[in-house]
Chain A
Amino acid sequence: MLSTLLKRGRPFATMRPLRGLSTLAVVENAGSAPTPGSLSAITAASQLGEGNSITALVAGSNAKEVAERVSKVAGVSKVLTAVNGNYDRNLPENLATLIAENVKKHGFSHVLAPASGFGKNVLPRAGALLDVQPISDITAVESENTFVRPIYAGNALATTKSNDPIKLVSVRSSAFAQAAEDAQAAAAIEDAVDPDSPLLSEFVSEELTKSERPDLGTAQKVVSGGRGLKDKENFDKVIYPFADALGAAVGASRAAVDSGFADNSLQVGQTGKVVAPELYVAVGISGAIQHLAGMKDSKTIVAINKDPEAPIFQVADLGLVQDLFQAVPELTEKLK
């Protein structure tokens, strides 16, 4: 690295970031703990290079509580907290300002956030405030300025180098393990600079889908249903007991979601959730490009479909060409 820089004849001043990488990891809160995606982003931060110091940013009225947890995460050397109820609803306008102001104050070279709904909403806005072109949804870190990300619904991988002085990166959680808590670790907790900028938008209400099942984004096993289920009644009758027998989360194809068989938040694909569980079972799903984008990095893929020509069989490790209404209840019984 040093020799290439010298060859290009760049002044020594520009080498400073190499000596001291410093990353701001933006933490998304789930109750009193960081989300699993935030912990994956911390893992990605730890891969940026030697001597990188990782500072986590936690905002909201419960920031202190979350910060306690984050301070014990391996690799985190400092936690900045903005204890302020205005950040509770993750409204992007004031959060982006908070991020930008802390980057300016502390001179971070990198800002990493989970590529969740939260990260996708906030990080590009912070990019505008810092005049930086962000990099979305990375699946690998090549070096401190070079990242790999899928494009065209995962049909191509782009190795992308950022020439911006600050790297703003969102991290695909299924591509990085979650950073673990380390009993020995105890990062310092300090106050962030809180610009407390005015709220430009207001939170009105939310409707969350309650479920006892594992979370789709982080589950080890996922059972997804598609158009082949024909209606919501069948979806509920066939998919849920099967998922429960496997201890799996439930997902759905776009066709199933569009037809009202399952909630939107269960959609797996290019524009829904991207998952990479140990086991992914696709039931009555043909396997459109857009769906494959969301699940083809799963370890083992099983397809159950009566159409032997369905494209899903091209990515499935194990395929069963059978009527799902017969096969799936049978599997459910046998697994119990």
Chain B
Amino acid sequence: MSTKLRILVPVKRVIDSAVRPRVNKAQTGVETQGVKFSMNPFCDIALEEALRLRENNKASSLVESIHAVSAGPSKAQEVLRAALAKGADESTLIDTGSTDVEPLGVAKMLKKIIDEQKSNLVILGKQAIDNDSNQTGQILAGLLNWPQATNASKVEVDEQAGKVTVTREIDGGVETVAAPLPMIITTDLRLNEPRYASLPNIMKAKKKPLKVVKPDDLGADIASRLEILKVSEPPVRQAGEIVESTDELISRLKKAGAV
């Protein structure tokens, strides 16, 4: 029996990775006014992997659908349009307004979307570069009681057996694990190189489905469990010195007791 893939790819809108975030004056978060936002780089890799699974298995039509989903403000529609332009078939925005929902809440909403979409493979980024939590994929796998393979650097699907083999980046090297579908995969940087969307595809993406729902429509409990009491700047390092020669460098290090 062969298993077709119905892939769900959650994508997050975050401050662009090239921007150095600044803590706001009120110390409640970082400055977002006039700051460039983009798709979280790890989500981009997750989407790319879904697209490659489809392209590399065209003959067997392994991939039945690729659905992109984002939870965030209405502006997160932009990252969904970008996902559609790259090749996702359809998308859902869970409009959470200005609330930044915690990973547990996001995972609960994703679970509802998975039920609705009948997804059997979810590919997520390993972490969002804003909150750096590295949790959503694992929590989602726990809620669903599905197997999980995090930090993937290689993904292979055996269609006949309905089994996925994943090479994972671990401390000290890599390991390979295998699990039957349905399963959860989170992506590491090394998995692939995401593509750019072409202009014609960006135009076409405007006509692809983008459904907007509210958290209430999904009936998931997304109440915050954590309170951010304060967001502060990390301690600033003392200005350093430029030394003129390797000899000077060594003597300075010796004086400091560093060598």
Contacts and interface: CB of A to CB of B under 8 A. Distances in A.
B174 A125 contact: no
Lowest 9 CB-CB distances: which A-B pairs, in order? A128-B142, A124-B138, A133-B225, A201-B179, A208-B173, A124-B135, A206-B175, A125-B142, A200-B147
Q: Could you tell me the dominant secondary structure of chain B's interface residues?
A: mixed
B250 A265 contact: no
Interface string A97-133: 0000000000000000000111011111111110111
Contact of A156 (B231, B237, B242): B231
Contacts of A93: 141, 147-148
A266 to B, nearest CB: 10
Interface string A193-204: 000000011111
A127 B137 CA distance: 12
A96 interface: yes
Interface string A250-278: 00001001100001110000110100001
Interface string B98-131: 0000111101000000000000000000110111
B217 interface: no
A302 B172 CA distance: 25
B245 to A, nearest CB: 8
Interface stretch (A13-21, A40-48, A134-142): A134-142
A320 to B, nearest CB: 5
A160 interface: yes
7 contacts: A127-B142, A132-B225, A136-B133, A201-B183, A265-B170, A273-B171, A318-B241
Contact of B174 (A123, A154, A161, A264): A264
A159 B230 contact: yes
B225 A163 contact: yes
Given A118-B171, A120-B134, A132-B225, 10 more contacts: A125-B141, A126-B142, A134-B135, A134-B139, A151-B130, A203-B176, A205-B176, A265-B171, A265-B172, A318-B240
A293 to B, nearest CB: 8
B231 A279 contact: no
B171 A207 contact: no
B176 A217 contact: no
Nearest to A122: B138
Q: Could you tell me the dominant secondary structure of chain A's interface residues?
A: mixed
A271 B177 contact: no
A319 interface: yes
Contacts, number: 250
Interface string A283-322: 0000001100000100111100000100001011111111
A91 interface: yes
Given A206-B174, A300-B256, A302-B253, A150 B142 contact: no
Interface in A150-166: 150-164
A158 B231 CA distance: 4
Interface stretch (A65-73, A75-83, A328-336): A328-336
B178 interface: yes
A133 to B, nearest CB: 4
A277 B7 CA distance: 42
A155 B231 CA distance: 10
A270 B146 CA distance: 28
A146 interface: yes
